[in-house]
C-alpha cells in the first residue's frame, strides 16, 4: 500500500425490523456521534472520502465531507456483507446470524465471510493502486471491517465475533503499508 487508509465504521443506526439491514438509517444518537467525531484532527488531512453505497455509511461520510470540504465517492464494493432482503425480527436474531457468519456457518441468503472479505480486499488494493501518497477515508460497516482488520492482524474467524461485539459505532482504525497502525477495535 502506498496510501494511508483510515477505516471508519458508520454511526449508530435505527434497528428497523420492517426493513432489511442494508436499508437502515442513522438514529439521532448516531448523528450526534458523527457530529462530534468530525472535530477529530485525524480527519482534517483526509484527501479522499470513499463510502459504501448504503445510506447509513453515506450519512456518516456526509458530516465529515462537509467539515473537510471534500466530495464523497460511493463504492458498492465497500458495502456490508450482503444479507439479502431477509428481514431480521430482533436484535438477538441479527446477533446470532452474525455469530454464524464469523464461524463460517452459512446463513440463508447471506454472503459468506470469505466472499465479502475477498470483495473488500480486492477493492482496497484497487483504490490503493489508483492513488499515490494520499490519506483515504473509507466509511464502511461492522462485519466487513471486523473481517478486514482480522485478516490484517491474522486473527482466526472464530475469534472475530467477540471483536465485532466490542466494535463501537463511529470507531476508526488506520492501515499503512498493509500494517495496522491503529486497530479499529479500541
Nearest to 140 by CA among 75, 95, 87: 75
Question: Domain limits at 170?
Answer: 7-182
Nearest to 7 by CA among 86, 81, 55, 64: 64
pLDDT average, residue stretch 126-148 = 97
pLDDT average, residue stretch 51-72 = 96
Q: Is residue 128 part of a domain?
A: yes
The total of other beta-carbon atoms located within 10 Å of residue 41's CB is 6
Which CATH number belongs to the domain containing residue 37 in this structure? 3.40.50.1240
pLDDT average, residue stretch 19-26 = 82
- Given a cut of 80, whether residue 68 has pLDDT beyond it is yes
Nearest to 102 by CA among 87, 120, 81: 81
Question: Which of the four pLDDT bands, split at 50, 70 and 90, describes residue 139?
Answer: very high
Three cell numbers written together for 100? 454464524
Q: Is residue 1 part of a domain?
A: no
Q: Is residue 61 part of a domain?
A: yes
pLDDT average, residue stretch 71-94 = 88
- Given a cut of 90, whether residue 22 has pLDDT beyond it is no
Q: Is residue 11 part of a domain?
A: yes
What global pTM score does this model have? 0.94
How many domains does the chain divide into? 1
By CB atoms closer than 10 A (0-12, 13-18, 19+), residue 91 is exposed
Three cell numbers written together for 146? 471486523
By CB atoms closer than 10 A (0-12, 13-18, 19+), residue 100 is middle
Q: Is residue 2 part of a domain?
A: no
pLDDT of 19: 80
Q: What percent of the chain has pLDDT over 90?
A: 77
- Given a cut of 80, whether residue 87 has pLDDT beyond it is no
Angle between helices 91-102 and 142-152 (to 10 degrees): 30
Q: Is residue 75 part of a domain?
A: yes
Amino acid at each position: 500500500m502506498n496510501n494511508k487508509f483510515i477505516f471508519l465504521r458508520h454511526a449508530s443506526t435505527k434497528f428497523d425490523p420492517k426493513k432489511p439491514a442494508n436499508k437502515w438509517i442513522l438514529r439521532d444518537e448516531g448523528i450526534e456521534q458523527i457530529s462530534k467525531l468530525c472535530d477529530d484532527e485525524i480527519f482534517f488531512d483526509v484527501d479522499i472520502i470513499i463510502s459504501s453505497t448504503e445510506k447509513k455509511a453515506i450519512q456518516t461520510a456526509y458530516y465529515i465531507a462537509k467539515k473537510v470540504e471534500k466530495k464523497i465517492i460511493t463504492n458498492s464494493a465497500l458495502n456490508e456483507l450482503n444479507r439479502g432482503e431477509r428481514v431480521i425480527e430482533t436484535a438477538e436474531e441479527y446477533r446470532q446470524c452474525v455469530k454464524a457468519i464469523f464461524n463460517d456457518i452459512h446463513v440463508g441468503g447471506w454472503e459468506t465471510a470469505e466472499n465479502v472479505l475477498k470483495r473488500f480486499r480486492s477493492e482496497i488494493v484497487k483504490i490503493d493502486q489508483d492513488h499515490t501518497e494520499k490519506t483515504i477515508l473509507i466509511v464502511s460497516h461492522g462485519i466487513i471491517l471486523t473481517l478486514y482488520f482480522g485478516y490484517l492482524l491474522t486473527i482466526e474467524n472464530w475469534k472475530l465475533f467477540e471483536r465485532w461485539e466490542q466494535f463501537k459505532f463511529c470507531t476508526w482504525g488506520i492501515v499503512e503499508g498493509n500494517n495496522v497502525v491503529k486497530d479499529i477495535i479500541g
